[in-house]
Structure 1
Amino acid sequence: MNYNRKEYTEEELIQLYRAILKPRMIEERMLVLLRQGKVSKWFSGIGQEAISVGSAMALEQDEYILPLHRNLGVFTSRGVALDRLFAQFQGKLHGFTKGRDRSFHFGTNEHHIVGMISHLGPQLAVADGIALADLLEQKEKVTLVFSGDGGASEGDFHEALNVAAVWGLPVIFMIENNGYGLSTPNNEQFKFRHFIDKGPAYGIDALQIDGNNVLEVYDTVRQAAASIRKNPRPMLIEAITFRMRGHEEASGTKYVPKELFEKWAKKDPVENFESYLLDELVLTQKVMESIKEELRNEIEEGLQKAFSEPMPEVNREQEIADMYQPFEQEVVQPASESKTERRFVDAISDALNQSMERYPDLVLMGQDVAEYGGVFKVSEGMVEKFGKGRIRNTPLCESAILGVGMGMSVRGKKSIVEMQFADFVTCGFNQIVNNLAKSHYRWGQNADVVVRMPTGAGTAAGPFHSQSNEAWFFHTPGLKIVYPSSPYDAKGLLNAAIEDPNPVMYFEHKMLYRSISQEIPDDYYTVEIGKAKTVAEGSDLTIITYGMGVHWAKQLQQELRESSLEILDLRSLLPWDKDAVRTAVEKTGRVIILHEDTLTGGIGGEIAAWISEHCFELLDAPVARVASLDTAVPFAPPLEQEFLPRQRLRQKAELMLNY
């Protein structure tokens, strides 16, 4: 192996040796503990330590790194306390996730590390978000994110590189090419020869290095980072390496030809660097043994501390509470009595403008949101007011842009991501339900992201521009969901959603944009999230609904003037107002739950079950649901009208009134 020490001092070389030796010694100890049943699972990085260590040592301590399974060297090089690291491996309370996640599935802002989720690819876009925050602050910083050769087959890889290239983000994409995605060899993963071939296609500089040469890794990353800090841009570095053990220990290595192990054993990154330093007289046997003894003692001390800690005690209330960053909303009243008649779409635009003024770091991202003003013109004129840095047109990369929002949150910044249509959120589903929703529960990092979702049918737009998909997210702890039905609530709830440091799915019905108007305050104000609103008082029948359903219920009220209808607008779906629901049920004893979403698996089913369980003694009739047909949304207007529940609502109401 060719080592070129250049101008590096003996002290720097010894520091690198100590850094690469430490994860190897920890790994060797962990393999023993695994066989003893004292750790439950282990992803070995033996043979790949040079990449983790060289990269981490090359960056400044306050520059973020996003590692994967086999990057123990990142954590040790950043000085993470070993007792806490080992507690994490064992699921102890002192670990970074309090026993809620395993191995390297955590982050620590103290050490500027954002750990992985099992889906691998989404973290690449999170790195984009961290880098964007640095770019907007004009900080000369670099973010480095790891990907394996297998994980690079995911669409998130393409999206993250594309966004980084288009926006000129200071990110190093470190590709650890070890030849296998678990057991699948590279020739069954992709057809290109080298990952550096991808660089020119994205307009990105690309370098290939010997991933087992810690000095080459260190020097390359160090120079690349220095260049990127002065001239912000992304860079791809392909590190050629090999893992000497299985994907994880239980999977074994029978699928790997023996001769590959023999070849790569000769390129062991720790042994070769150690021999080089001994040959160069930089390292002596005495110093080497002293370093090993020191590390051995540090490892054993950390293990004993971790072993002595009991497993976490169950605290149900704390588990539930930790899904969200603690936040007590204080409802903001308008500063004056000035009001103006505003359409639903104008109310949303008002909220965006006033929140952008209120939070100078807030960024709005979405397809065509800048000069074009968005397909529904909600953000029209905002780019002239706030600039291209904060009103950002995005490529068609929903997953990456949601990941960028997560990365911005890591840097303490708020963001709004606009889905052009709610239907398109499927392309970013993983980021929402596995990154945004779970991050605070896992390691205390909130996701300060609002996802705006133009939703709903009635425009003859067919199956892919008309869906009501709020129920997809209703099942996901860690998210909040709001769905206004009036201009007043549209503005107040959007301001509140942006204010809230937790991820909020904000649904806005397209049919309401320009069909309804209301006199609303000109000033900034908020509406309480989680608080329902009584739209109409009644004594005969309660209709619990939200969004367009509120207007269908009000129309029914005009048609059934001889009956007294109670209409409750939930406004917030997660959390939903159980007290208000109970009160509304108590008033009439007869309940219909109405929503535009399809019937099966809809939110109405959960609310109906809750009413039956908690308000049974208040009921004079079975709880009824009215919803759209269990089909995709059809295109032709007659079919779409039959799909929607409006006509069935009257039939069900008459049935309930006569029960």
Structure 2
Amino acid sequence: MSSKTEPKIFFDYNRKNIDDNTLISLYKGMLKPRLIEEKMLILLRQGKVSKWFSGIGQEAISVGITSVLHKEEYILPMHRNLGVFTGRDIPLYRLFSQWQGKANGFTKGRDRSFHFGTQEFNIVGMISHLGPQFGVADGIALGNLLKKNNQVCAVFTGEGGTSEGDIHESLNVASVWNLPVLFCIENNGYGLSTPTSEQYNCENLADRGIGYGMESHIIEGNNILEVYTKVGAIVADMRKNPRPVLLEFKTFRMRGHEEASGTKYVPDALMDEWGMRDPLINFENYLLSENIISETEIELFKNEISQEISENLDLAFNEPAISSTESDELHDVYQINTYQGVRPNSDTEELRLIDAISQGLKQSMQRHDSTVIMGQDIAEYGGVFKITEGFLEAFGKDRVRNTPICESAIISAAMGLSINGFKAIVEMQFADFVTSGFNPIINYLAKSHYRWNQKADVVIRMPCGAGVGAGPFHSQTNEAWFTHTPGLKVVYPAFPYDAKGLIASAIEDPNPVLYFEHKALYRSIRQEVPTGYFTIPIGKAALLKEGNDISIVTYGAGVHWALETLEESPSISADLLDLRTLSPLDTEAIFTSVKKTGKVIILQEDSMFGGMASDISALISENCFEALDAPIKRVASLETPIPFAANLETQYLPRQRFKDALNNLLAY
């Protein structure tokens, strides 16, 4: 008499009212990424893919969550969520092409593995800086709330990523704004090799939900039916009652953080224990024990998937290596913005710089119903400089949003709004505070279009500059941090007329724009400004004065210092060029002036080294050397932080040094 060994099943599966077809679909949903991964590990050893982050042992989470979300609902996955991509039925040859850096992938060879998004499949891929992903999800969810479409979005991170500040900021924003985000933590025990005991000191990460006033749950991440039923019920309720929910999935990865790191740091007993909890093998054994599938059917499924993998690999391998030109690469850094200027009307009124910015913002928000402005104290209070005073009454709390003090999460949320079809404006209370949001600006907003053709329709307003006795943390003019970063545009007006026209153009532009507003000019500079909506092209300098002796190139407060100097010395015949835009830079205007006068002085408020004047000087040297009659002169503030005391601040700024340098250069 023979007896067949019963398959071992670690989990107590509760199918509830799930039909057989759904059970089989969930099984096949996990089987497909597992077989792909096993093939990828072979190709990795053969050198046919460059790197691999394995999700073996964690498939139930990706597959379960993707199965309960609608196709139009966004998912923001991480390294180990292959089941999200296969669950959204992305053609495998496109995934394989992506991993080989070929044209049929999603990033034109510019990024690797799962670092991509696709609007076609409503997936927003990660960047290596893990934290901003939660903030982007906040922005997408805010867009869903504003659209009233009853959709949720799901975002993933590992337990290691939960230590990042962006994560905490984003959870807080989601709770304060009651955003319908499913925050999914895959707690697999190790951040690369660092165990959870060295990462956080609470028993469960789900317990953190209490501190955020947020509903949270712990879910057995290797039990596909528990994931499917519990998450399904939560998501269905979130659609009716929008709110954030924090989910901690207990799981384990059976491979290294990435293959090169291995798993030697994991105790053998722990590896064996989690091996017994394999989500695919356990569920397969359960289906066999319940006679829902047979061994023959399993082999058939495996053969079908293996055949699909093989055929799609052939397509990817036979695809030629990607090629590109310098022109193509440069072309894709920014989304094309075909400027369609709006001419100013003839009626004017005298406005201060601050009034012109406020009026331009308001008229842009009237013109674009999809525009949302966010910032600290901008609603009832009207902002610390009162630029958004009255906006709350005009546009309502949905579009004029006070934020917690969390620059990084709000900038990331602005990116999420853009992904979901909105225009976002973020007010930095002071430009100095942008350091707290540097990561998403530099690594998310600036790179998204180049990486996966996703616009970042975001304007970040930057009240900046010295001359108001505000000291080291409220006085910087830090534009050079951003002109160095491809993908960002940098605008810096000096007059009310320009300020109004350029804020309108910045909001029209689908690319990320850093818009600098000099605080010392807010209420000190007045000008006649058209009353209606109008635009000024970004990237065009203004020639304010014309002369033959010397070219003065400057921007911001430097324009007014130069004007004062020329008024005091009417005998100086100078071209005075107000750049207005620093990126893209109007090099044609600069070169034309320098070739005419033969002498050039470049004035900036920022300290000297690494500033705009240095690059402008280099460009002139490279392109206008033969036209020069004297050395190029740069004038800037001292190489110190900005002091508070009035006499020290005056000494710091280059206003007086500019006059001396100008006269010395004229006498050369």
**Which residue of structure 2 aligns with residue 418 of structure 1?**
427
**Which residue of structure 2 aligns with residue 622 of structure 1?**
631
Q: 1:374 aligns with which of 373, 383, 398?
A: 383
Worse overlay, 308-317 or 66-75: 308-317
Q: 1:600 aligns with which of 609, 613, 617?
A: 609
**Which residue of structure 2 aligns with residue 60 of structure 1?**
70
- The answer to whether residue 298 in structure 2 is matched with residue 319 in structure 1 is no
SS in structure 2 opposite 1:113? Answer: coil
Please show how residues 500-579 of structure 1 align to structure 2 within 5 Å.
500-579=509-588
Superposed CA offset, 1:476-523 (max 9, x none): 000000000000000000000000000000000001110011111000
TM-score, normalised via structure 1 length:
0.99
**Which residue of structure 2 aligns with residue 221 of structure 1?**
231
Q: 1:400: how far off?
A: 0.5
* Structure 1: distance between partners of 2:288 and 2:37: 23
SS in structure 2 opposite 1:615? Answer: helix
Task: Tell me if the contact between 1:208 and 1:237 (Cα under 8 Å) persists in the aligned partners.
Answer: yes
Tell me the amino acid that sits aligned with residue 371 of structure 1: E
Superposed CA offset, 1:211-258 (max 9, x none): 001111111111111111111100001000000010000011111111
Q: 1:463 aligns with which of 463, 468, 472?
A: 472
* Structure 2: distance between partners of 1:42 and 1:124: 23
**Which residue of structure 1 aligns with residue 182 of structure 2?**
172
* Structure 2: distance between partners of 1:215 and 1:442: 36
* Structure 1: distance between partners of 2:25 and 2:263: 33
- The answer to whether residue 32 in structure 2 is matched with residue 17 in structure 1 is no
Please show how residues 3-42 of structure 1 align to structure 2 within 5 Å.
3-42=13-52
Please show how residues 73-84 of structure 1 align to structure 2 within 5 Å.
73-84=83-94
* Structure 2: distance between partners of 1:648 and 1:587: 25
Task: Report how many aligned residue pairs link the two structures.
Answer: 658
Task: Tell me if the contact between 1:538 and 1:587 (Cα under 8 Å) persists in the aligned partners.
Answer: no
* Structure 2: distance between partners of 1:234 and 1:178: 22
Tell me the amino acid that sits aligned with residue 201 of structure 2: K
**Which residue of structure 1 aligns with residue 596 of structure 2?**
587
**Which residue of structure 1 aligns with residue 311 of structure 2?**
301
**Which residue of structure 1 aligns with residue 502 of structure 2?**
493
Tell me the amino acid that sits aligned with residue 635 of structure 2: V
**Which residue of structure 1 aligns with residue 253 of structure 2?**
243
Task: Tell me if the contact between 1:383 and 1:391 (Cα under 8 Å) persists in the aligned partners.
Answer: yes
**Which residue of structure 1 aligns with residue 5 of structure 2?**
none
* Structure 2: distance between partners of 1:310 and 1:257: 44
- The answer to whether residue 135 in structure 2 is matched with residue 141 in structure 1 is no
* Structure 2: distance between partners of 1:299 and 1:343: 64
Superposed CA offset, 1:537-570 (max 9, x none): 1111111000101000001101222211210000
**Which residue of structure 1 aligns with residue 202 of structure 2?**
192
**Which residue of structure 2 aligns with residue 290 of structure 1?**
300
Superposed CA offset, 1:426-460 (max 9, x none): 00000000000000000000000000000000111
Q: 1:47 aligns with which of 31, 54, 57?
A: 57
Please show how residues 101-116 of structure 1 align to structure 2 within 5 Å.
101-116=111-126
Please show how residues 231-270 of structure 1 align to structure 2 within 5 Å.
231-270=241-280
Q: 1:338: how far off?
A: 1.1
**Which residue of structure 1 aligns with residue 137 of structure 2?**
127
* Structure 2: distance between partners of 1:567 and 1:627: 17
* Structure 2: distance between partners of 1:256 and 1:603: 51
- The answer to whether residue 662 in structure 2 is matched with residue 653 in structure 1 is yes
Please show how residues 337-416 of structure 1 align to structure 2 within 5 Å.
337-416=346-425
- The answer to whether residue 447 in structure 2 is matched with residue 438 in structure 1 is yes
- The answer to whether residue 459 in structure 2 is matched with residue 453 in structure 1 is no
SS in structure 1 opposite 2:324? Answer: coil
SS in structure 1 opposite 2:350? Answer: strand
* Structure 1: distance between partners of 2:245 and 2:225: 19
Worse overlay, 215-224 or 496-505: 215-224
* Structure 2: distance between partners of 1:302 and 1:428: 41
* Structure 2: distance between partners of 1:404 and 1:289: 45
Tell me the amino acid that sits aligned with residue 356 of structure 2: A
* Structure 2: distance between partners of 1:285 and 1:652: 86
**Which residue of structure 1 aligns with residue 7 of structure 2?**
none
Task: Tell me if the contact between 1:132 and 1:169 (Cα under 8 Å) persists in the aligned partners.
Answer: yes
* Structure 1: distance between partners of 2:457 and 2:571: 48
Using the aligned pairs only, state the percent identity: 61
Query: Which runs of structure 1 show a deviation greater than 6 angstroms over 4 or more consecutive aligned residues?
Result: none
* Structure 2: distance between partners of 1:61 and 1:331: 38
Q: 1:314: how far off?
A: 2.7
- The answer to whether residue 307 in structure 2 is matched with residue 310 in structure 1 is no
Tell me the amino acid that sits aligned with residue 519 of structure 1: E
Q: 1:587: how far off?
A: 2.3
Q: 1:378: how far off?
A: 0.2
* Structure 2: distance between partners of 1:241 and 1:231: 29
Q: 1:333 aligns with which of 343, 354, 357?
A: 343
Q: 1:313: how far off?
A: 1.1
Q: 1:279 aligns with which of 275, 289, 292?
A: 289
Task: Tell me if the contact between 1:59 and 1:221 (Cα under 8 Å) persists in the aligned partners.
Answer: no
SS in structure 2 opposite 1:356? Answer: helix
Tell me the amino acid that sits aligned with residue 71 of structure 1: N
**Which residue of structure 1 aligns with residue 438 of structure 2?**
429
Tell me the amino acid that sits aligned with residue 473 of structure 1: F
Tell me the amino acid that sits aligned with residue 92 of structure 1: K
Contiguous gaps of at least 5 residues in structure 1: none
Tell me the amino acid that sits aligned with residue 188 of structure 1: E
* Structure 2: distance between partners of 1:197 and 1:563: 70
Tell me the amino acid that sits aligned with residue 452 of structure 1: R
